[in-house]
Amino acid sequence: MNYDVLIIGAGASGLYCACRILSESRVRLGIIDSNDSVGKKLLMTGAGRCNISNYDMDPRFYMTDSPDMLARLLRHHDEKVSLDFFRDELGVLMAERDDKLCYPATYRSDTVVNAMRNYLIDNDADFIMNTQVYSISRDDGGFTVNGSLHSKTIVIAVGGASYSRTGSNGSILKLAAPFTGSGDIAPLYPALVPLKTMEKDITSISGARAYCDLNLYEDSRTDKVLAESSGEILFTQYGVSGICVLDISGYAIKAMTEGKRPVLSVNLLKMSYPKARVEVETNLLNFPDRSPSQALNGLIRDDILAIILGRLNLTEVRHASDLSRADIDNITGCMISFKLTITGSLSFDNAQITTGGIMLSSVNDQMELKSTPGLFICGEALNCNGICGGYNLQFCWSSASAAAEGVLSCLN
C-alpha cells in the first residue's frame, strides 16, 4: 500500500495531526496504532473530562532542551488556533469558565476522541489498527514501515512510556534509532508522578492532605531552588503526591539522574518566617496551659504537628508555656519548611507523562527530524513535558499542527 503520509500512533497528537493535514489537502493518509481503538490515553485525561488546554500558556510551564524553540512553537500554533480548529472544523465547543483551564463543553474526553475519529472517517483516512510498528526504513520514494507499507512522509506520534497499558511503551527509542544519534535523544523518565521520600515518620499521616507552598532544593546543602509550586499535598505510605507534587516531580527526577539528592521544603502555613513566628507565638501565649499540639491546632493539623514535635524532640512537653524561645523558633521553622528528602518516584505506570524523548533541538520548526527530511515527530515522543493543567495536550496540538504544516509543504 502506498501513502502520502503515514502517521504512527492514534493518540492525541497523531489524531490531531491527521485532522489538520486532511483539513488542508486530500492526501492519501494512513494512521497506524497497536491498539484496537483510537485515543486510549486521551480518553483518560482530566479524569475523563479532558483538560484540553490552558489560556495561560507560557514556555516556563514546560521542561525541555530548547525553550526558545518551544516559545516559537507555542507562538505560531497557540491555544487559540487549536481551540478554533476544534470548534470550527471538529464541532467541539469549549466550556465557559472563570479560570484559565480549558475543557470541552461536555466535560467528556470521548467528545474529543469521537470528533477527531469521525472527522478522519469523513475524510477517508485509512485506519490501520492492531498493528505494532517495529521498523521504519528509508526507500527511494520515502519510507517503508514494517517492510510492506510505503509512504512519502512519516509522522511518529507514538507518545512516551507512561501508562503503557494505553499503548505507549517507549517505542520511540527503537523507531527513531536508525535516524538519530545519542545527541538527539534524552533518556526517558516518568514525570507528573508521585515521589518517594526517605523520612519514614510521615507514614503515620498517610492519607492526610494539606494546602502548602513547595520549594524543591537541589540537595540539603544548597539553597538552589529547582522548582516551586503550590496546592494540596497528599502524604502517602511511600512519600507524597497531589498536583503540586506532580508538577515539580520532573525536576526532582532530573536532579536525581544527575546524582543529586533533592529536598522538598513544604511550607505548611503558606507564610514567611516572620509572619509565621508571630502567629505561632501568639497561639502559644494565648493557650499556655494547653499542650503545644492543642495550642497550635488552629494553625496546622495535629497529626502533622506531632511529627514536627517528634523531629524536634519536643513530644514530651506538656504545656505550651514550657517551650523556650528557641523551641518556638524551631517549631516555626519546621512548619514553614517541613523537609522531605526525595529518593525516587513511582513507576511509568503511575506517571501522567514522560520526560525525555527526541530533543526539540533535533527537529526544525515543523517538527521534521533535521537529519531525515520527510520524517516528523510530534507529541509526548518529543523532549518536552509540561505541568498539570492542559499544558501537555496543548503541546500535542501545537506540535501536531507544526508537523502537519511540514508534511504538507514536503508533499507540495
Residues that bind ligand FAD in the complex, under the rule CB under 6 A: 8-14, 32-35, 40-42, 44-46, 50-51, 132-133, 157-159, 162-163, 166-168, 171, 352-353, 379-380, 390-393, 396
Closest distance of CB 224 from ligand FAD, Å: 29
Closest distance of CB 386 from ligand FAD, Å: 7
Count the alpha carbons within 13 Å of 93 in the hemisphere toward its beta carbon. 5
Q: Of the two residues 171 and 398, which places its CB atom closer to ligand FAD in the complex?
A: 171
Q: Of the two residues 154 and 216, which places its CB atom closer to ligand FAD in the complex?
A: 154
Q: Of the two residues 30 and 167, which places its CB atom closer to ligand FAD in the complex?
A: 167
Please provide the DSSP assignment of 103-167 as one string.
-BTT--HHHHHHHHHHHHHHTT-EEE-S-----EEEETTEEEETTTEEEEEEEE----SSSGGGT
Q: Of the two residues 262 and 390, which places its CB atom closer to ligand FAD in the complex?
A: 390
**Phi, psi (5° rounding) for residue 90?**
-105, -10
Closest distance of CB 381 from ligand FAD, Å: 6
**The dihedral sign for the CA sequence 62, 207, 44, 168:** positive
Residue 47, classified by CB atoms within 10 Å of its CB into exposed (0-12), middle (13-18) or buried (19+), is exposed
Determine the Cα–Cα distance for residues 262 and 361; give it in Å rounded to an integer: 27
Q: Of the two residues 167 and 239, which places its CB atom closer to ligand FAD in the complex?
A: 167
Please provide the DSSP assignment of 256-281 as one string.
HHTT---EEEEESS-S-HHHHHHHHH
**The dihedral sign for the CA sequence 327, 332, 337, 338:** positive
Determine the Cα–Cα distance for residues 382 and 180; give it in Å rounded to an integer: 13
Closest distance of CB 16 from ligand FAD, Å: 8
Q: Of the two residues 112 and 227, which places its CB atom closer to ligand FAD in the complex?
A: 112
Q: Of the two residues 33 and 218, which places its CB atom closer to ligand FAD in the complex?
A: 33
Q: Is 189 helix (H, G, I), strand (E, B) or coil?
A: strand
Determine the Cα–Cα distance for residues 75 and 70; give it in Å rounded to an integer: 8
Q: Of the two residues 34 and 398, which places its CB atom closer to ligand FAD in the complex?
A: 34
Closest distance of CB 144 from ligand FAD, Å: 15
User: Distance between terminal CA atoms of the chain?
Assistant: 21
Closest distance of CB 12 from ligand FAD, Å: 4
| Joined grid coordinates for residue 372 | 531525515
Determine the Cα–Cα distance for residues 381 and 173; give it in Å rounded to an integer: 9
Closest distance of CB 382 from ligand FAD, Å: 8
Closest distance of CB 69 from ligand FAD, Å: 17
